[in-house]
Amino acid sequence: MLFQAAEFSPDGQRIVTGTIETEPAKVWDANTGAELLSLNGHSGSVTSVAWSLDGRLIATGGGNKAKSRRTLGEPGDYAVRVWDAKSGQVVSVCLGHLHEVSCLKFNRDGSRLVSGCREGKIRIWDTSTGKELQLLRAHLLTVNSVALSPDDSRIVSASVDRTIRIWDAHDGTELLALKGHTTFNVWARFSPDGSKIVSTSADGVRIWDARPVNWEFFQPERAPAPRVVSDNPN
């Protein structure tokens, strides 16, 4: 198998994996390597995986159907599936993405799931029902990563379009656009207290001030530029 995605369970005892081949996601014992579960459901590859913070749920994102180890074939289901991590049963199926699901992230209590895809859109789902709660037309190109702030109030997304964007997780409003990276593959995460964002790309690591701007006091054309705390090309 040619693996595309992998993530430890929060307790470090299990690993969930996805492949770019037409194979189901699998859950493994992290200590022995034994296969524990096969998550059958996607019609194509599994290109992204995530665990909920309590270890109760797993999310998987669908991609294309693979003709061989090197060639991607016809479209897959592009669905996001939420699974019971103990039994391997499907909890919900989230339908809406039209291209490969590239990244996934649960909120703190596992009730919401954020997904990004190759078409540049971000969706927020109710994990119990699979209902789409928000659609963010976020980026021009593939969304490489999504992450939630520690209080679940904001989402940070990073894209092949070289931008990082911060969103209100409740109403989908764009709060900040952070620009500065000059190469394509950008990833971003919040600091543990939510005050900063770290982003990485081939051009280096940047740390950004992520504190929300009070837009009430600024005209849009006079809004302050995003604050870069550190810019280290090395």
Asked whether 16 and 51 are in contact (CB, 8 A), the reply is yes
Q: How many domains does the chain have?
A: 2
52 plus 162 within the same structural domain? no
pLDDT of residue 71: 45
Of 95, 116, 137, the one marking the end of a domain is: 137
Bridge partners of 113, per DSSP, are: 106, 125
120 plus 24 within the same structural domain? yes
pLDDT of residue 179: 86
126 plus 219 within the same structural domain? no
Predicted TM-score (pTM) of the model is 0.83
Closest to 80 (Cα-Cα) out of 68, 107, 98 = 98
119 plus 160 within the same structural domain? no
Of 137, 165, 187, the one marking the end of a domain is: 137
Bridge partners of 16, per DSSP, are: 7, 27
58 plus 3 within the same structural domain? yes
Q: What is the 3-state secondary structure (H, E, C) of 64-85?
A: CCECCCCCECCCCCCCEEEEEC
| Residue 154 covered by a domain | yes
Structural domain for 185, as ranges? 149-234
Q: How many alpha carbons fall within 13 Å on the CB side of residue 70?
A: 0
Q: What are phi and psi of 29, to 5 degrees?
A: -75, 120
The shares of helix, strand and coil residues in the chain, as percent rounded to the nearest 5, are 5, 50, 50
55 plus 115 within the same structural domain? yes
Tell me the average confidence (pLDDT) per consecutive run of 10 residues in the chain, 234 residues long. Answer: 89 93 89 96 89 97 63 68 96 92 96 94 95 90 93 93 90 88 86 91 88 51 48 54
